[in-house]
Amino acid sequence: MFNRGFAVLAVVLLAVGTLSAEEILDLKVPAGLKPLKIPADNPLTEAKVELGKQLYFDPRLSGNNEVSCASCHDPKHGWADSKDRSVGVPGERLGRHSPTIINAGYQRFQFWDGRAGSLEEQALGPIQSPAEMNMNLDTLTKKLNAIPGYRNQFKQVFGTEVTAENIGKAIASFERTVLSGNAAYDRYKAGDEAALSEGALRGRKLFFGKANCSACHAGSNFTDNGFHNIGVGIDLAEPDVGRQSISKLSGDRGSFKTPTLRDVDRTAPYMHDGSMATLEDVIEHYSKGGIDNPQLDEEIFKLDLTDQEKKDLVLFLKEGLASQNYPMVEVPTLPE
């Protein structure tokens, strides 16, 4: 399906001569997803996405030339990390598990605590973080400008030499193409009654009913884009306060962004701290009603699911939400 929102934007840009027809990316949004909104100041083009992909996989964006965006958001691990907490340039574990990049273009806020309001802003955050990629942006722009392949591509795409702003725009453009849809659930909704097995159908009924999962994992991307306290890690001596660190509101203590469930079977371990190794662990947590605390979300309560109900829910998540066209991307040839 062609992105109608981008089509309108492209017509405007063509009219003022900013883009040529050859540059416009005909982004195919998988079945089950809504049209993807593209920022007016960062239109999608083939060349920009290709540049963003190279930057995403290039470890030279880090201070030690060893860590790339893909190091912690790996396509082979659901565009997340197989570790409970990722390892940054200093060689130490970070405070949180890396969230998936899948369908991040649909998210209103980025990072577990929502501290970034756009993918462009998000893309530059880990690069500058001393604990993650540990690279000064001024140093990075000089570094990339010294690489002819990058310098030429930035001039082609943006009409300038490498700038920090355009690094963020290129990476964000690539990340917007990492889309997961066309799952068995989508085909079932479209009328294919054989798309889901009997067990997965029972799990679907639980997901939208007794188990109350859809209270937060709502919409086509299976997230309400909100922040919720489900008790994970709140019982530690010094808990991660999550969204409260940004909002400064006591009611946000221990709240974290609702992740998408698209291709969730690939993104283990789970939760902001990677403390749950399997989907079975996740379902058990919710069945018990989370971990009690003053800010526990009102949608979290004891479910007392049977063993069969737990199995059916896991089956729906694994079978029903796995994309038929998973966005696997291999490491590209990097500029020299």
pLDDT at 6: 42
Ranges of CATH 1.10.760.10 domains, the chain: 4-175, 190-320
Structure tokens given for 158: 């943006």
What is the rounded average pLDDT of the residues 12-27?
Answer: 55
Q: Which burial class, exposed, middle or buried, applies to 336 when counting CB atoms under 10 A from its CB (0-12, 13-18, 19+)?
A: exposed
pLDDT tens digits for 251-289?
A: 999 999 999 999 999 999 999 999 999 999 999 999 999
Please give the share of the chain, as a percent, with pLDDT higher than 70. 93
Q: What is the pTM of this model?
A: 0.92
Please check whether residue 51 is in contact with residue 170, taking contact to mean a CB–CB distance below 8 angstroms. Answer: yes
**∠ Cα 219 220 226 (to 5°):** 45
Strands (E), the chain: 227-228, 256-257
Q: Point out the catalytic residue in the list 132, 175, 309, 319.
A: 132
Share of the chain above pLDDT 90, in %: 90
Structure tokens at 38: 């593209």
Is 66 catalytic? The answer is: no
CATH of domain 4-175: 1.10.760.10
pLDDT tens-digit series, residues 203-247: 999 999 999 999 999 999 999 999 999 999 999 999 999 999 999
Q: What is the mean pLDDT of residues 5-18?
A: 41
Which of 133, 111, 105 lies closest to 27 in space, CA to CA?
105
Sign of the four-CA dihedral 153, 158, 163, 169: negative
Q: What pLDDT score does 3 carry?
A: 45
Alpha-carbon distance of 127 to 68, in angstroms, equals 9
Q: Which fold has domain 190-320?
A: Cytochrome Bc1 Complex; Chain D, domain 2 (1.10.760)
Q: What is the pLDDT of residues 20-58, one digit of tens each?
A: 444 778 888 999 999 999 999 999 999 999 999 999 999
pLDDT of residue 19: 54
